[in-house]
Structure 1
């Protein structure tokens, strides 16, 4: 995916094909529970100076919730590989009470979830996606650091993962503001958590919106899904100077969404330093729950429609 940035003027930075090197995980519920236990301890330690996690009865509660969501989503078209997938979770940035869950099947990444704890002790599915380039993929990060010559080309993936002198932080500030913060030899770098592109940031990004009282996610009902082919938003550039469509809710999106429309979602990131255009693939509406806008960002990315419309615009 390419980012339109003020510091590159009219030049585009493109990312080459991503090298896939599988994470080392083992199957079974014991992996999931072990992963969550470690994650919960890390998150509690990180957040002791902010506020305590809401009701962590909950190692088993989060594990059960993620397993239920995985099973439910696995019934949807495009998520078939989740049926036999196992998962590992990793803490997000300080104060977020969140985790990224990476799903793997037969040694290959097949998707991800972003999960946040709510104040009543339940959990919210903030975002999810499919494909072998999940959000916060160590594989993508490794490839990008090599391409940017921030680590030697002779460094193997396993050496990179085990190198304790490289400090890695996952920062998820809001939907589409997700970055890796990397400290190498006393230098700090920020990379996009999905594409791996180097970002023009000098400090941690701040959230553009916050959900004061996020509700628990309900996937108990069936999903109504519209999904159309991907396209390159750089083939046409109405989003550069054009007028956005007045879309503020699902019903208005449904009126303008069709296979020929090729709608582009555009959001301004990092105080306007980066403009991110993404092809709209469709949406997934859970009858008794939330609606997610489906975007093409190095693979399908499902983000909460309500928040996406607050953070960006849709162009024809």
Structure 2
């Protein structure tokens, strides 16, 4: 395996001058954002605001325009699991869900959960090559990918002129399998800029474009041909026999750290991991864990493993293990441990 240490492009980030209230309600974006819309609502040099169109998850606001009904129903199933812990619900059960498609042809959707403008968390739902919907990642609390403040900072670093961008440019939300969330910024007469949506770093054009070509070659099946998009949503309080009986265990969060603070892990042997248990054992031994992907550029560099959550059937016969990565200089994302095992390895931070 290639264990190339990829230090994040920008380890120290400027704090954007965007107040929390300015960003509330701005977390759901249409697939393509016209630059003139950005410019017209550009209140100051440190604030970005967008006129957004959203699809609501409650019964009176169903829409298949931004997400098919099957996707909306699948999202409600995941929210039901996340809200199954009465003492640590964090508002999932009463949250409103907004849907945004993540680029043409990707068959992925960003779902933001909020209550009266306060963020509860997010989901990213993806249709795999067989057309089956899956929860690719999720997060708790106010931080989520596609944060406008990160986009604003990156545009400033690239000296992107919003007036110039408004003359034929646009910004798209994109998502590449398995876990690359990014912005695509198109400018008239200039190269496309790709920006990591989890940390604001600039992505190499060649790498992203190669991934996009590969995705197109795989020809992911259309959702309508493989999923029951005619299924109707019902009220959350109503009985739904088609909702799987599973719930989420409490979240276990580990102390945050920066993998760049101690590089001894690079020369150490990877921890053999085929499930969550070896990681739990290391945490029991007071060891911090680093995840390093074979191609770290797609993850924004080696990341701290900062927690986990297990989803179980009610009879506990099956479980899905999610591991939290990031949280220091990027968004903390809960992703399937099987995805991480396939993409890279785990190391003890201070061997």
Query: Which bin holds the TM-score, normalised by the shorter protein?
Result: 0.7 to 0.9
1:1-316 aligned within 5 A = 5=6, 13-18=11-16, 19=18, 20=20, 21-22=23-24, 23=26, 29=58, 33-34=62-63, 37-40=64-67, 59-76=68-85, 80-117=90-127, 123-151=133-161, 165-187=168-190, 188-202=192-206, 203-206=208-211, 220-224=245-249, 225-258=251-284, 260-269=286-295, 276-287=301-312, 288-297=318-327, 298-316=330-348
Return closer, same or farther for 1:273/1:91 CA change in 2, 3 Å cut-off.
Answer: closer
Return closer, same or farther for 1:12/1:68 CA change in 2, 3 Å cut-off.
Answer: closer
Q: Output the CA distance in 2 between the equivalents of 1:306 and 1:274.
A: 15
Return closer, same or farther for 1:193/1:146 CA change in 2, 3 Å cut-off.
Answer: same
Partner SS state of residue 193, structure 2: strand
Partner SS state of residue 290, structure 1: strand
Once the 2 structures are TM-superposed, how far is the Cα of residue 25 of structure 1 from its aligned partner?
7.4
Partner SS state of residue 70, structure 1: helix
Q: Output the CA distance in 1 between the equivalents of 2:94 and 2:245.
A: 20
Once the 2 structures are TM-superposed, how far is the Cα of residue 283 of structure 1 from its aligned partner?
1.7
Partner SS state of residue 185, structure 2: strand
Structure having greater relative contact order (Cα 8 Å, sep ≥ 6): 2
Residues 222 and 286, structure 1, Cα contact 8 Å, conserved in 2: yes
Once the 2 structures are TM-superposed, how far is the Cα of residue 111 of structure 1 from its aligned partner?
2.1
Residues 83 and 93, structure 2, Cα contact 8 Å, conserved in 1: yes
Provide TM-score, normalisation by structure 1: 0.72
Partner SS state of residue 129, structure 1: strand
C-alpha distance after superposition, 1:37-77 (max 9, x if no partner)? 2224xxxxxxxxxxxxxxxxxx3332222123223213457
Unaligned runs of 5+ in 2: 27-51, 222-226, 228-242, 313-317
Whose Rg is larger?
Answer: 2
Once the 2 structures are TM-superposed, how far is the Cα of residue 175 of structure 1 from its aligned partner?
3.5
Unaligned runs of 5+ in 1: 41-58
Q: Output the CA distance in 1 between the equivalents of 2:193 and 2:60.
A: 31
Q: Output the CA distance in 1 between the equivalents of 2:244 and 2:252.
A: 17
Q: Would you say how many aligned residue pairs link Structure 1 and Structure 2?
A: 278
Residues 189 and 201, structure 1, Cα contact 8 Å, conserved in 2: yes
Return closer, same or farther for 1:247/1:32 CA change in 2, 3 Å cut-off.
Answer: farther
Return closer, same or farther for 1:32/1:306 CA change in 2, 3 Å cut-off.
Answer: farther
Give the aligned CA root-mean-square deviation in angstroms.
3.7
Q: Output the CA distance in 1 between the equivalents of 2:258 and 2:275.
A: 24
Residues 198 and 331, structure 2, Cα contact 8 Å, conserved in 1: no
Provide TM-score, normalisation by structure 2: 0.66
Partner SS state of residue 14, structure 2: coil
